[in-house]
């Protein structure tokens, strides 16, 4: 398993907001250790027994260090919130927020890079190591309906498809080591390739399944990693959004990063993935069947 | 959001970048008026969002009144690269000594902005990259502090370095995703002039530029349909979750994707919506639109999107589909769908296929079943055990049956 386990300590920024309140309960139910919360101006309050502070700095001084900061604030406040967590050198900053302006994201990722802080997201649903722990809103109130413990790594830009893919695997009797929604934005802190490197090192993970899509370079970076021999386990990928190839260049779809004609075409992706040794699956529902053959 | 050239020039002008004097005309009367403020030769340029205007004959240097009027009459209101020409800009012709290329955009690998410059301008950057990649100079930009002085020195002269800095100012001030000036001209006096301006704004940045004076654009084309405009408003007025910020209506020529579709799509999720569309098309269905809602939007937003999507003539089916949701409340969002559905006029009689899973899906389906019985809607509800592709196939079959019945009676 990667990124999150039973011991992971969490701080939530924007804990008193609509989605913040929702996620606190879900994490508690999954047995996660939410140490503190932050909402400027609401220091001194409590949410489900968790103390709220005015700043990340104070929260850490009062309640101790955490492994993950989860950013659940409105889009135009997300940059400042994330920078606060990065300044405090919290090792992993998970940004759930969608629709953060690209310039803000670029600033956040640049600072994170300097401080050696890892960012998951923006627009990431989170990560779950089934039966062990989770961060973010992945699996919602009832993760066990979809996720099960096992040995397959799951990655997708899309939160919904991370779940859908994991459910497909669970129903076929294949559990997941860790499932991660990396987020659909144009610029992302954690991409397919950095997770593949983690999965390569993770002994529990036998194979990785990914849901790729039109636009961007995430799939190409993964292909390069495979070609360079830096990821050696079976890698199965499904690509969605072929219909969009008939739309004018620069059209952007549901995900901010799904931009037609950006970086690589669907055919480029398929070609590079195939020649790298990845298994490109045409039918989504065939994934378990294909995987079973590979890891037998 | 991709801008028209003339809108791009206005954004550059705010950063002190010079463009040749131009006047935008919507009809021949305006062309007539504008002509009096310019002297021949005049450069007439159609204003469309597709590139390749030059190659496609959309830019013409005219030296007489007749040539000008002929060109404008032949273009205004006509189809250019699948897009209706609504504007032509009449531009002063400048004496160009040399043409170069300059742009700023984001690198998705380094996650930072970068500037590209080439002394060879006028052609596509893709062509340039293929033919003469050594001629392209790349300058990395720190998003926090802007380009470094020593890096800008690489451009070779102070005027160019100053231009690059202004371009960066424009990029930041407008929250752009891309600014490209090609050609960037050096005129007889040695001044740098932006002869063209391609600007794509970051849609997520628009929230902090409410005062920006640009025409509304469609998700896939220059001229949005009424539905696309209405759908976009939903998110602009409420940031919680998203519903309809991307709404593409597939509608006969000159719009994209050829013929009009007849299956209304209300997909959920940026990833699943792609799968839904692919599956629908793979099974022979023709989507009337692409749209999606996600991120747990309140019921009212889904209600509005439903009404906009379904109040269209010639619909023979509606597919509401998404992956197993993590945190989107299926009851709330489908309650919004039901509310919207009830308001659609004329009353919906075509089949509706729903495929969803996630929080409160059971309650949601009970609610829909009850509503279907009471109001006589033709619901076909599928849970997460049914793959999206199977639901899409079912949708196509039901819509074919609906059409057969309707046209035979």
Cβ–Cβ pairs < 8 A, chains A and B: 200
Burial of A134: CB neighbours in 10 Å, binned 0-12, 13-18, 19+? buried
Cα maximum dimension of chain A: 57
A268 within a domain of the structure (yes/no)? yes
Question: According to the model, what pLDDT value does residue B409 have?
Answer: 66
Q: Residue written as tokens 């055990």?
A: B385
CA B154 – CA B139 distance, rounded (Å) = 8
| Cα A270 from chain centroid (whole Å) | 23
Residues 6+ apart with CB under 8 A from A18: B240
Mean pLDDT, residues B177-199 taken together:
94
Chain B residues near residue A105 by CB distance under 8 angstroms: 111
Separation in Å, CA of B15 to nearest CA in chain A:
18
Provide the token pair at B55: 């190659």
For the ranges A168-172, B68-72, B216-220, B364-368, which has the lowest average pLDDT?
B216-220
Mean pLDDT, residues B109-133 taken together:
86
CB contact under 8 A, A164 and B272: yes
Structure confidence at residue B82 as a pLDDT band (50, 70, 90): confident
Chain B residues near residue A141 by CB distance under 8 angstroms: 359
pLDDT per residue as tens, chain A (296 positions):
999 999 999 999 999 998 999 999 999 999 999 999 999 999 999 999 999 999 999 999 999 999 999 999 999 999 999 999 999 999 999 999 999 999 999 999 999 999 999 999 999 999 999 999 999 999 999 999 999 999 999 999 999 999 999 999 999 999 999 999 999 999 999 999 999 999 999 999 999 999 999 888 889 999 999 999 999 999 999 999 998 888 887 787 877 777 776 778 899 999 999 999 999 999 999 999 999 999 87
Strand pairing report for B59-62 and B42-47: antiparallel
In this structure, what CATH number is given to the domain that contains residue B375?
Answer: 3.40.50.261
Question: According to the model, what pLDDT value does residue B257 have?
Answer: 40
Q: What is the pTM of this model?
A: 0.92
Residues B85 and B128 in one domain: no
Out of A106, A141, A217, name the one closest to residue B359 (CB): A141
A154 within a domain of the structure (yes/no)? yes
**Four-residue CA torsion sign, A240, A246, A251, A253:** negative
Residues B101 and B187 in one domain: yes
CA B73 – CA B359 distance, rounded (Å) = 58
Q: Does B318 touch chain A (CB under 8 A)?
A: no
- Look at residues B139, B95, B147, B97 and name the one whose alpha carbon lies nearest to residue B116: B139
CB contact under 8 A, B112 and A110: yes
CA B238 – CA B233 distance, rounded (Å) = 9
B397 within a domain of the structure (yes/no)? yes
CA B302 – CA B185 distance, rounded (Å) = 49
Cβ contact A158:A213 at 8 Å: yes
Residues B330 and B399 in one domain: yes
Give the total number of structural domains in chain A.
Answer: 2
Give the total number of structural domains in chain B.
Answer: 3
Does the structure show a pLDDT above 50 at B255?
A: no
Residues A170 and A92 in one domain: no
Provide the token pair at A59: 């929260």
A114 within a domain of the structure (yes/no)? yes
CA A65 – CA B47 distance, rounded (Å) = 56
Question: According to the model, what pLDDT value does residue B256 have?
Answer: 40
* Residue bearing the bigger pLDDT, B146 or B408: B146
Separation in Å, CA of B112 to nearest CA in chain A:
6
A136 within a domain of the structure (yes/no)? no
Out of A184, A211, A250, name the one closest to residue B200 (CB): A250
Residues A244 and A155 in one domain: yes
Question: According to the model, what pLDDT value does residue B259 have?
Answer: 57
Provide the token pair at B121: 């301008």
DSSP string, B154-176: TTSSHHHHHHHHHHHHHHHHTTE
Does the structure show a pLDDT above 90 at B283?
A: yes
Separation in Å, CA of A253 to nearest CA in chain B:
6
Q: Give the domain-ending residue among B74, B92, B110.
A: B92
Residue count of chain A: 296
CB contact under 8 A, A158 and B270: yes
B230 within a domain of the structure (yes/no)? yes
Selected residue of A112, A164, A259 to mutate for chain B interface (largest B Cβ count, 10 A): A164
Residues B297 and B372 in one domain: yes
Does the structure show a pLDDT above 90 at B128?
A: no
Residues A167 and A282 in one domain: yes
Does the structure show a pLDDT above 90 at B337?
A: yes
Residues 349..408 of B with a Cβ closer than 8 Å to A: which? 357-359, 384-385, 387-389
Residues B274 and B344 in one domain: yes
Q: Is the ipTM of this complex over 0.85?
A: yes
Does the structure show a pLDDT above 90 at B67?
A: yes
Residues A31 and A107 in one domain: yes
Question: According to the model, what pLDDT value does residue A246 have?
Answer: 80
Chain B residues near residue A186 by CB distance under 8 angstroms: 106, 108, 177
pLDDT tens-digit readout, A110-130: 999 999 999 999 999 999 999
Q: Provide the 3-class DSSP secondary structure of residue B244.
A: strand
Residues B45 and B109 in one domain: no
Residues B249 and B376 in one domain: yes
Provide the token pair at B209: 């530029």
Give the residues across from A212 on adjacent strands: A239
Mean pLDDT, residues B94-98 taken together:
93
Q: Does B278 touch chain A (CB under 8 A)?
A: yes
For the ranges A212-221, A267-276, B250-259, B377-386, which has the lowest average pLDDT?
B250-259
B16 within a domain of the structure (yes/no)? no
Residues B165 and B87 in one domain: no
B214 within a domain of the structure (yes/no)? no
Catalytic positions of A, please?
255
Residues A105 and A203 in one domain: no
Separation in Å, CA of B202 to nearest CA in chain A:
7
Residues 150..189 of A with a Cβ closer than 8 Å to B: which? 156-164, 167, 171, 181, 184, 186-189
CA B372 – CA B262 distance, rounded (Å) = 22
Residue count of chain B: 409
Residues A150 and A285 in one domain: yes
CB contact under 8 A, B106 and A283: no
B212 within a domain of the structure (yes/no)? no
Does the structure show a pLDDT above 80 at B223?
A: no
Residues 280..299 of B with a Cβ closer than 8 Å to A: which? 281, 287, 290, 292, 294-296
User: What end-to-end distance do the CA atoms of chain B give, in Å?
Assistant: 45
Residues B383 and B309 in one domain: yes
User: What end-to-end distance do the CA atoms of chain A give, in Å?
Assistant: 20
Residues 165..194 of B with a Cβ closer than 8 Å to A: which? 172, 175, 177
| Cα A148 from chain centroid (whole Å) | 17
Mean pLDDT, residues B373-399 taken together:
97
In this structure, what CATH number is given to the domain that contains residue A286?
Answer: 3.40.50.261
In this structure, what CATH number is given to the domain that contains residue B48?
Answer: 3.30.1490.20
- Measured between CA atoms, the residue of chain A closest to residue B168 is A103
Residues A159 and A279 in one domain: yes
Torsion of CA B369, B371, B376, B382, to 10 degrees: -30
B308 within a domain of the structure (yes/no)? yes
CA B369 – CA B376 distance, rounded (Å) = 10
Residues B375 and B304 in one domain: yes
Structure confidence at residue B344 as a pLDDT band (50, 70, 90): very high
Residue range of the domain that includes A187: 146-295
In this structure, what CATH number is given to the domain that contains residue A71?
Answer: 3.40.50.720
Residues A24 and A81 in one domain: yes
Directed axis angle between helix A287-295 and helix A159-171, to 10°?
A: 60
Torsion of CA B166, B169, B170, B171, to 10 degrees: 120
Q: Give the domain-ending residue among B205, B232, B254.
A: B205
Residues B86 and B174 in one domain: no
Under the phi-then-psi rule, with left for phi > 0, alpha for psi from -120 to 50, and beta for the rest, what region is B284? Answer: left
CA B195 – CA B181 distance, rounded (Å) = 7
Does the structure show a pLDDT above 60 at B100?
A: yes
Q: Does B238 touch chain A (CB under 8 A)?
A: no
Provide the token pair at A211: 């849901």
Selected residue of A30, A94, A145, A160 to mutate for chain B interface (largest B Cβ count, 10 A): A160
A54 within a domain of the structure (yes/no)? yes
Chain B residues near residue A22 by CB distance under 8 angstroms: 327
Q: Give the domain-ending residue among A73, A104, A120.
A: A120
Mean pLDDT, residues B144-154 taken together:
95
CA A200 – CA A210 distance, rounded (Å) = 14
Out of A76, A216, A285, name the one closest to residue B108 (CB): A216
- Measured between CA atoms, the residue of chain A closest to residue B240 is A74
B4 within a domain of the structure (yes/no)? no
Directed axis angle between helix A218-227 and helix A192-201, to 10°?
A: 40
Residues A189 and A108 in one domain: no
Residues B141 and B231 in one domain: no
Provide the token pair at A49: 């027994």
Residues A22 and A156 in one domain: no
Residue range of the domain that includes B74: 21-92
Q: Give the domain-ending residue among B205, B236, B255.
A: B205
Provide the token pair at B268: 């959920």
Separation in Å, CA of B63 to nearest CA in chain A:
34
B113 within a domain of the structure (yes/no)? yes
Q: Residue written as tokens 């240097």?
A: B61
Strand pairing report for A33-38 and A9-13: parallel
Residues A72 and A150 in one domain: no
Chain A residues near residue B209 by CB distance under 8 angstroms: none
Residues A214 and A104 in one domain: no
Residues 15..34 of A with a Cβ closer than 8 Å to B: which? 18-19, 22-23, 26
Q: Give the domain-ending residue among A105, A120, A135.
A: A120
Question: According to the model, what pLDDT value does residue B17 have?
Answer: 97
């Amino acid at each position: 398993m990667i990124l999150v386990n039973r011991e992971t300590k969490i701080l939530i920024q924007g804990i008193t907001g609509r989605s913040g309140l929702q996620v606190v309960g879900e994490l508690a139910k999954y047995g996660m250790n939410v140490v503190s919360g932050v909402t400027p101006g609401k220091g001194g309050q409590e949410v489900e027994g968790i103390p709220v502070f005015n700043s990340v700095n104070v929260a850490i001084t009062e309640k101790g260090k955490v492994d993950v900061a989860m950013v659940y604030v409105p889009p135009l406040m997300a940059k400042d919130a994330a920078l606060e967590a990065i300044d405090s050198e919290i090792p992993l900053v998970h940004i759930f927020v969608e629709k953060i302006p690209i310039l803000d994201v670029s600033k956040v990722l640049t600072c994170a890079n300097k401080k050696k802080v890892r960012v998951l997201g923006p627009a990431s649903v989170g990560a779950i190591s089934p039966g062990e722990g989770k961060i973010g809103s992945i699996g919602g109130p009832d993760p066990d309906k979809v996720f099960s413990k096992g040995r397959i790594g799951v990655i997708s830009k899309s939160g919904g498809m991370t779940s859908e893919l994991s459910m497909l695997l669970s129903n076929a009797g294949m559990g997941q080591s860790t499932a991660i929604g990396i987020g659909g934005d144009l610029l992302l802190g954690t991409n397919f390739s950095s997770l593949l490197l983690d999965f390569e090192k993770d002994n529990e993970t036998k194979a990785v399944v990914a849901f790729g899509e039109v636009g961007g370079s995430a799939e190409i970076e993964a292909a390069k990693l495979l070609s360079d021999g830096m990821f050696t386990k079976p890698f199965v990928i499904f690509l969605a959004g072929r219909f969009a190839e008939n739309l004018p260049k620069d059209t952007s779809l549901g995900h901010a990063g799904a931009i037609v004609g950006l970086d690589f075409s669907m055919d480029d992706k398929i070609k590079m993935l195939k020649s790298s040794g990845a298994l490109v699956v045409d039918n989504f529902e065939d994934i378990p069947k294909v995987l079973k053959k590979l890891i037998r | 959001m991709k801008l028209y050239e003339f809108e791009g020039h206005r954004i550059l002008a705010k950063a002190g970048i010079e463009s040749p004097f131009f006047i935008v005309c919507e009809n021949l009367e305006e062309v007539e008026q504008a002509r009096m403020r310019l002297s021949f030769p005049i450069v007439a340029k159609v204003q469309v969002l597709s590139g390749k205007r030059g190659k496609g004959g959309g830019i013409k240097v005219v030296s007489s009144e007749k040539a000008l009027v002929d060109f404008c009459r032949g273009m205004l209101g006509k189809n250019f690269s699948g897009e209706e020409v609504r504007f032509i800009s009449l531009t002063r012709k400048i004496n160009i000594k040399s043409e170069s290329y300059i742009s700023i955009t984001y690198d998705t690998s380094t996650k930072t902005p970068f500037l590209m410059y080439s002394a060879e301008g006028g052609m596509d950057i893709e062509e340039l990259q293929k033919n003469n990649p050594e001629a392209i100079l790349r300058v990395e930009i720190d998003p926090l502090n802007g380009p470094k002085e020593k890096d800008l020195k690489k451009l070779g002269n102070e005027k160019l370095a100053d231009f690059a800095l202004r371009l960066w100012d424009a990029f930041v001030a407008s929250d752009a995703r891309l600014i490209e000036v090609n050609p960037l001209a050096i005129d007889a006096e040695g001044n740098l002039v932006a002869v063209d301006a391609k600007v794509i704004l970051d849609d997520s940045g628009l929230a902090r530029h409410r005062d920006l004076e640009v025409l509304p654009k469609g998700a896939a084309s220059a001229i949005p349909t009424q539905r696309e405009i209405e759908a976009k408003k939903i998110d602009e007025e409420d940031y919680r979750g998203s519903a309809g910020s991307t709404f593409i209506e597939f509608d006969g020529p000159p719009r994209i994707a050829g013929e009009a579709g007849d299956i209304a799509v209300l997909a959920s999720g940026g990833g699943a919506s792609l799968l839904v569309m692919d599956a629908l098309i793979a099974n022979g269905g023709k989507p009337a639109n692409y749209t999606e809602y996600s991120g747990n939007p309140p019921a009212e937003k889904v209600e509005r999107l439903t009404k906009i999507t379904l109040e269209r003539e010639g619909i023979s089916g509606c597919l509401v589909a998404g992956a197993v949701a993590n945190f989107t409340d299926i009851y709330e969002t489908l309650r919004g769908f039901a509310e919207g559905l009830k308001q659609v006029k004329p009353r919906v009689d075509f089949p509706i296929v729903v495929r969803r899973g996630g929080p409160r899906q059971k309650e949601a389906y009970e609610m829909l079943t009850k509503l279907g019985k009471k109001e006589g809607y033709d619901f076909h509800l599928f849970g997460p055990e049914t793959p999206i592709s199977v639901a899409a196939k079912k949708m196509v079959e039901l819509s074919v049956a609906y059409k057969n019945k309707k046209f035979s009676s």
